[in-house]
Chains A and B, each alone.
Chain A
Amino acid sequence: MIKVALAGQPNCGKSTIFNLISGIHQHIANYPGVTVDKKVGRFNYQNEKIEMVDLPGTYSFSSYSLEERVAKDFLYDETPDVILNILDASNLKRNLYLSFQLLEIGIPVVIVLNMTDVAARRGISIDTKKMEELLGCRVVNASGAKGEGAEAIMEAVFSVYRQKERYENFQIHYEMLEPFIQEIETAIAGADLPLNRRWTAIKILEEDQALIEKLDNEQKRLTEKAQACEKRFFDMYGKDVAAFLAAVRYDSAEIVFHRCVSLKHGNKETLSDKVDQIVLNRWLAFPILLLIMIAVYELSIVGGYKLTDYTWPILAGFKSFVIDRLPEPDFINVPMITDLSVWMVNSANALLNYIPVFFILFAMIAIMEDVGYMPRLAFILDRVFKKYGLHGQSTLPLVLGGAMVGGCAVPGVMSTKGIADERARMATILAVPYMNCLAKVPFYTLILGAFFKDAMGIMMFYISTVTLFIALIVSKLLTSTVLRTRETAPFVMELPPYHLPTFKGVVLRAAQRVWVYVKKVVSIVLVVAMALFALLQFPGLEADSKRIFDEKVEKALSTFDRKLQSNPYYTLIDTREKVSTLLNAYDHYKSKRMIASGSQEAQKIDEAFLKKYPNLFILLKPHEDQAAKTVNNAVRQLSNVRKDLLRQIKNEKIEKSFLGIVGHAIEPLTHYAGFDWKINVAFLSSFAARESAVATLGSLYENAKADATRAEEAMADNGGYSPLSAVAILIFMILTPPCIATMIVVKMQSNSYRWMLFATFFPITLGLVSASLVFGFGNALNWSGLEAMGYFYASVVGIALGLGAMPSRLSAWTRANIKN
């Protein structure tokens, strides 16, 4: 097997080359302990197995950033056979800076000049023969975007691999630093090194701690030695080693650049420059940014939601497929397996339903990444976010999380991966879950419909805009307290030239990210859903109330029996089992006909039922048969009685369940906010997926004639809530903890269970305190619901603006703390 490592600077088109060579035979692996992805592609070429590893893009190998550490660790620990170094041909000079560091390692390098088409368009022509001569390695032309060069690259990799032993090490002459390099080389003469000795010596001089650690027992001695050398070098030449090494490498790049590159039409203004004059224009930048964000939002959230109308039937089909195979209920005794399976399918479907939204969203992000808009977004907004401890790159996660009307924290948190500044990244991860979750909207609608029918517009405006301010406050609080000591990174960021994205690249990336979501999130949510189910089911009904319910069933059955004894169809329903079968058939038939669209489909259902129940079908669909009609009516009544009883049982079960007990137990705490146990249970059950809050509340408040009265009205009528307590409920919901799916991605991105728990309990506390404050003050001062919400909104906005105006003491880089 040939192990090939793909290395290159960010924006050099590494992924397109990776896709070009490896096709789609790849998988993404997370490095243990870090959030940087490693892509591995395995394929055959000329009967030889190839394993290609796509290393994170890095500007250099000086080991300051996570990506560099990951890339370097791979080169140390797994010593690949060939390094494939991808260069952006239109930005050769800086790309060569990394090439020199790769060439020095001593592993054979093949250089790929990517984007040669872009370079040609800009009048840059590169003499590859000359370059091969100067660098002593193979140089291949390619264009990932146009799909050119795969064969040539593989041919070069093979020929270099076959002549591995003859590979000549490349050396940069570091002038007056040379004696110092020799000195370190002598110092490590005895050590058993996996890599080139000279390169190791240079890295020690750079005080590369990761490498020094790998040389283990000599750690302290080597660090001291390096520092001594640095000091002598500074005393002799007035230069520090790191700056000197960088300067020599850049000078070497300059030399190669001048010898190999000829520019046809000087430094003409490029298309990227022209676009930037508009996109980054002082007056146009914000309107354009807003338009782009609206477009992303419309296409993915709104458009994706519409798409779910077409994908939902697939999920609904899956659900009915499962239900058809489950054991039938015997009157009010629903088998546990049936209940559990329906619950699990519902939970899975609620999340899988978002796949179209996520796919479009991820595709849009991939496009913005490939085009090069992301760093520009950060450039435009950094100043605002910096004030709150965030980063310009926090914009996108916040937008996805729902900065505008609604979004989802899952892709929001997942998109924090690219933020270079660790402190800002953590703050963003913890702030995004406060944004407006799309699945909360039905809940808001329910509450607003019940209590604020006349003020829905303004209330919805409050709800959807207050979240961003809350996120800013939270992030400011966290970055100036618990996250204060977190590592921060320089903002220094490249604004790469604009590129056209490739269709294949975008779709692949979107599909991969959706797959990660499905794999990690859905699987864990199902486990949690199962636990929640148990908490809602057990310990179950008490013997007494079970007996009462059973008696009610018996009563309904005997009424049914008495009524129909003289009916000609009585032989079909003269036993308990027969009635049960008919009742189940009736309910199935009704629910199937309800979702059937068009007469053709209805016809099909009829045929299916006729086949399944040849004798009973006349009772399901009596037509003009009077006797059958009577039975049909009686069955309908029986079915309604059963529905009603099942609902009562469910309510009682929930109240007596573990979750219900918890809901009751925390009432003393939540009553300050005006929450009773029902609301508590609804919030607790909303952990698995936000949608369950509405479902639980709905079932708790639906009364006997729930088919006619909607949950909204039932809640307003019987809940005993005032609009003020509704506001408290809303405020808690706005701040409420992330759902399980979000917590999983928080765990994935922060790589810590402690942060996940923090991200869960901090919002709960904050939500409860805020809701209690508003409820308490509101009660004391006799606020109306609308007033209470208005005051809450005003104070949140006020606090946010106040915090923003506070001078930031977080700036890590000051001239004062410099030693030399």
Chain B
Amino acid sequence: MKCYLDSLRQGQTGKIIRIHSTGKLKQKLLDMGFIVGADIEVVREAPLYDPMELRIHTYLISLRRSEAALVEVEVL
């Protein structure tokens, strides 16, 4: 099932299909390891539901929902 990363719930994992972003945000995401084919697990949401904490490769990244909404994933 294809969807955007921000709609994933805690504990769900997705595989990155595409980054729908340009410029700074895209480069930043690439540098942090958001490359096509990488697995992302939603570790938890912040106490106020935004941002969200993700596990990618072997480390933890925090991302605002507005940014996660640009990452298209395949839910695993």
Q: Which residue of B lies closest to A63 (CB)?
A: B27
| A286 proximal to B (CB < 8 A) | yes
Q: How far, in whole Å, are A818 and B18 apart by their CA atoms in the complex?
A: 13
**Interchain nearest-CB distance for A272 vs B (Å):** 8
A490 near B58 with CB under 8 A, answer no
B25 near A813 with CB under 8 A, answer yes
| A493 proximal to B (CB < 8 A) | yes
A818 near B33 with CB under 8 A, answer no
Contact of A815 among B20, B62, B64 (CB under 8 A): B20
Q: How far, in whole Å, are A247 and B19 apart by their CA atoms in the complex?
A: 13
| A355 proximal to B (CB < 8 A) | no
A64 near B28 with CB under 8 A, answer yes
From 775 to 820 in chain A, residues with beta carbon under 8 angstroms from any chain B beta carbon are: 811-815, 817-820
B51 near A813 with CB under 8 A, answer no
B27 near A64 with CB under 8 A, answer yes
A93 near B48 with CB under 8 A, answer no
| A189 proximal to B (CB < 8 A) | no
Q: How far, in whole Å, are A813 and B69 apart by their CA atoms in the complex?
A: 9
From 29 to 69 in chain B, residues with beta carbon under 8 angstroms from any chain A beta carbon are: 29-33, 35-38, 44-51, 53, 57-64, 66-67, 69
From 77 to 95 in chain A, residues with beta carbon under 8 angstroms from any chain B beta carbon are: 91, 93-94
Interface centre among A91, A246, A817 (most CB of B within 10 A): A246
Q: Which residue of B lies closest to A247 (CB)?
A: B35
**Interchain nearest-CB distance for A152 vs B (Å):** 26
**Interchain nearest-CB distance for A211 vs B (Å):** 15
Q: Which residues of A contact B29 (CB under 8 A)?
A: 490, 492
B51 near A243 with CB under 8 A, answer no
Contact of B58 among A91, A97, A283 (CB under 8 A): A91
| A386 proximal to B (CB < 8 A) | yes
B35 near A375 with CB under 8 A, answer no
Q: How far, in whole Å, are A457 and B36 apart by their CA atoms in the complex?
A: 59
| A280 proximal to B (CB < 8 A) | yes
Stretch at the interface among A376-384, A636-644, A735-743, A765-773: A376-384
A494 near B60 with CB under 8 A, answer yes
Contact of A818 among B22, B51, B57 (CB under 8 A): B22
B57 near A489 with CB under 8 A, answer no
Q: How far, in whole Å, are A97 and B44 apart by their CA atoms in the complex?
A: 26
Q: How far, in whole Å, are A537 and B43 apart by their CA atoms in the complex?
A: 65
Q: How far, in whole Å, are A246 and B56 apart by their CA atoms in the complex?
A: 15
**Interchain nearest-CB distance for A574 vs B (Å):** 82
B59 near A386 with CB under 8 A, answer no
A243 near B35 with CB under 8 A, answer yes
**Interchain nearest-CB distance for A702 vs B (Å):** 52
Q: Which residue of B lies closest to A11 (CB)?
A: B59
Q: How far, in whole Å, are A378 and B50 apart by their CA atoms in the complex?
A: 11
Given contact pairs A491-B51, A491-B62, A250 touches B28 in the complex (Cβ within 8 A) = no
1/0 per residue A375-406: CB within 8 Å of B? 10011111110100000100000000000000
| B12 proximal to A (CB < 8 A) | no
| B75 proximal to A (CB < 8 A) | no
A94 near B67 with CB under 8 A, answer no
| A282 proximal to B (CB < 8 A) | yes
Q: Which residues of A contact B51 (CB under 8 A)?
A: 379, 382-383, 392, 491
Contact of A384 among B48, B59, B66, B67 (CB under 8 A): B48
Q: Which residue of B lies closest to A124 (CB)?
A: B58
Interface centre among B36, B49, B59 (most CB of A within 10 A): B59
B26 near A382 with CB under 8 A, answer no
| B8 proximal to A (CB < 8 A) | no
1/0 per residue A271-301: CB within 8 Å of B? 0000010001111011000000000000000
| A223 proximal to B (CB < 8 A) | no
B61 near A383 with CB under 8 A, answer no
A492 near B32 with CB under 8 A, answer yes
Q: How far, in whole Å, are A495 and B43 apart by their CA atoms in the complex?
A: 12
| A62 proximal to B (CB < 8 A) | yes
Q: Which residues of A contact B44 (CB under 8 A)?
A: 276, 280
Q: Which residues of B contact A416 (CB under 8 A)?
A: none
Q: Which residue of B lies closest to A272 (CB)?
A: B60
Q: How far, in whole Å, are A650 and B48 apart by their CA atoms in the complex?
A: 57
Q: Which residues of B contact A380 (CB under 8 A)?
A: 46-48
| A59 proximal to B (CB < 8 A) | yes
Q: Which residues of A contact B27 (CB under 8 A)?
A: 60, 62, 64, 242
Q: Which residue of B lies closest to A282 (CB)?
A: B47
Given contact pairs A282-B47, A383-B46, A813-B21, A93 touches B58 in the complex (Cβ within 8 A) = yes
**Interchain nearest-CB distance for B69 vs A (Å):** 7
B33 near A379 with CB under 8 A, answer no
Q: Which residues of A contact B57 (CB under 8 A)?
A: 93-94
1/0 per residue A648-683: CB within 8 Å of B? 000000000000000000000000000000000000
Q: Which residues of B contact A814 (CB under 8 A)?
A: 66
Q: Which residues of A contact B25 (CB under 8 A)?
A: 490, 492, 812-813
Q: Which residue of B lies closest to A248 (CB)?
A: B35
| B70 proximal to A (CB < 8 A) | yes
1/0 per residue A47-73: CB within 8 Å of B? 000000000000110101100000000
Pick the 7 closest A-B CB pairs, nearest first.
A60-B31, A246-B30, A383-B48, A495-B60, A491-B64, A285-B47, A490-B25
Chain B interface residues toward A at CB < 8 A: 19-33, 35-38, 44-51, 53, 57-64, 66-67, 69-70
5 additional A-B residue pairs with CB within 8 Å, beyond A62-B27, A276-B60: A59-B32, A62-B31, A64-B24, A242-B30, A247-B35
A-B contact pairs, 5 of them (CB 8 A): A276-B60, A286-B47, A382-B64, A491-B64, A496-B59
